[in-house]
Amino acid sequence: MIPLEITVVGAGYVGLSSAVALALAGHRVHLIEHNIKRLQALQSGQIPFLEPDLESAFQDCQKNICIAASLERSVKSSSLIMLAVGTPSTPAHSADLSQIFAALEDIVPLLDQTPRVIVVKSTVPVGTNAEIKAYLESRAPKAVVAVASNPEFLRQGRALQGALFPDRIVIGASEPWALELLRQLYTPLQDAQIPEALEQYRPEQAIPILEISPESAELAKYAANAFLAMKISFINEIANVCAATGADVNEIKAVLEKDKRIGSDFLQAGLGYGGSCFPKDTRALSQISLRSGYEFRLLRAVIEVNSEQRFRVLQQLEQRLEGFRGKRIAVLGLTFKPDTDDLRESLGVDIALELQARGAIVKAHDPTPLKLEQVDFSSDLNACLTGVDAVILVTEWDEYRNANWKDLGCLMQRKLILDGRNALEPGDMLAAGFEYLGVGRKI
């Protein structure tokens, strides 16, 4: 392999996981983080969020990673500058590109005749790479610089695995020399020195590299997330039909997933999707389509179904409790999914606030330590369940799946559970003396 020197701007999930994966593959990585707290954590060998396997891998590859607050020193020696900064939603639901352009502002004065590629990893609307190109041509007309779209498909909770061994690598670049540099960057991933725990994920076949136009690469990222979100809204609608007809969504899932054309992933019915990606990216794609003169009706329905699903699922608990007012309810799982400490677009927090607004007395629990002001939070599951009239499982942490529900039920005023992720066995819960409510399940 030819080791490359690269700069990665932004040490969030995408930036940090990519930096570690590329360092494990033998490249020399400069990781730039403006946020002082994050920077200090990284400099002391800690990662600033919960992400399995990432911290130990980060410590293993320290010799190949250099962390800094600014990119002044690293750009000169880097042939690739990867932008992995956030692109949050604007109030109008499109992507806010201010962090991208702030990074470019810092990069421009450092560009010269040495060929460099600006690699856009952040999720950005179609046309952003062309916009960046035009910006660089006007601000640094003499610089030799290419722009490449290189979207990231990793999932939180499995970020390192996704950065090391993605299903595919997508590169949207026009200049052949830029494409060649990106091939040199990614080809060694396959043989990276990795933690033992990840060996099982090392693919036998070469990771496919798809070289497509920058516009297609930008849109492909949104298309992938929209498709996965569509699968979730689809199965949730099937669950709603199950609830109305007496069929069972898990039995239907078992039938669907045996069909290779459908596949088995992202067919878990529940309260809907949350997190920092699906809600933001589905809304952004909807905006991108509208602005280009096309209304993406299917996507609009996916978004609507998702925003209504939580209320629909809560309704059955409301009926069983004969209203929420004055009822003591435990909400289990606040992070948007297990194995993360991320609360962005958290259904747990939204549901706790909704129940409070409807007059319930809410206690919340999560296996990861969290600081919350609006909700009464306890990191002790027993304390959280003591004396409650009902419990809602919002995020399917293993701690809840493997809990001794018979003992926990003894602490509750009423043994009533709404399993918002269909994560528990109804038969076991009934045997433990619970009234069990699921999502589209036949009890």
Q: Does 166 bind ligand UGA (CB under 6 A)?
A: no
Among the residue ranges 26-34, 79-87, 100-108, 261-269, the one whose residues contact ligand UGA (CB under 6 A): 261-269
Q: Does 16 bind ligand UGA (CB under 6 A)?
A: no
Q: Does 120 bind ligand UGA (CB under 6 A)?
A: no
Known catalytic residue at 242: no
Among the residue ranges 108-116, 134-142, 276-284, 322-330, the one whose residues contact ligand UGA (CB under 6 A): 276-284
Q: Does 434 bind ligand UGA (CB under 6 A)?
A: no
Q: Does 17 bind ligand UGA (CB under 6 A)?
A: no
Site for ligand UGA in 141-160 (CB under 6 A): 152-156
Q: Does 52 bind ligand UGA (CB under 6 A)?
A: no
Q: Does 78 bind ligand UGA (CB under 6 A)?
A: no
Q: Does 332 bind ligand UGA (CB under 6 A)?
A: no
Q: Does 320 bind ligand UGA (CB under 6 A)?
A: no
Q: Residue 147 or residue 239: which is nearer to ligand UGA going by CB?
A: 239
Quote the tokens at residue 135. Answer: 């910006």
Q: Residue 178 or residue 423: which is nearer to ligand UGA going by CB?
A: 423
Q: How far is the CB of 339 from ligand UGA (least distance, A)?
A: 10
Q: Does 273 bind ligand UGA (CB under 6 A)?
A: yes
Q: Of these residues, 61, 66, 242, 277, which one is catalytic?
A: 277
**Can you tell me which residue has the tokens 């319930």?**
360
Q: In what order do the strands lie in the sheet with 145-149?
A: 65-68, 28-32, 5-9, 80-83, 116-120, 145-149, 169-172, 209-212
Q: Does 58 bind ligand UGA (CB under 6 A)?
A: no
Q: Does 233 bind ligand UGA (CB under 6 A)?
A: no
Tell me the angle at which helices 214-245 and 297-321 cross, rounded to the nearest 10 degrees. 30
Kindly tell me which residue out of 49, 186, 278, 377 binds ligand UGA, with binding defined by CB under 6 A: 278
Q: Does 349 bind ligand UGA (CB under 6 A)?
A: no
Site for ligand UGA in 211-230 (CB under 6 A): 225, 228
What are the beta bridge partners of residue 9?
32, 83
Site for ligand UGA in 279-298 (CB under 6 A): 281
Q: Residue 252 or residue 388: which is nearer to ligand UGA going by CB?
A: 252
Taking only Cα atoms into account, the Rg of the chain, rounded to an integer number of angstroms, comes to 24
* One-letter amino acid for residue 63 of the chain: K
Phi, psi at 304, each rounded to 5°: -65, -45
* Residue 226 · residue 281 · CB < 8 Å: yes
Q: Does 124 bind ligand UGA (CB under 6 A)?
A: no
Q: Does 268 bind ligand UGA (CB under 6 A)?
A: yes
Q: Residue 218 or residue 389: which is nearer to ligand UGA going by CB?
A: 218
Enzyme catalytic residues: 277
Q: Footprint of ligand UGA on this chain (CB under 6 A)?
A: 123, 152-156, 225, 228, 232, 266-268, 270, 273-275, 277-278, 281, 336-337
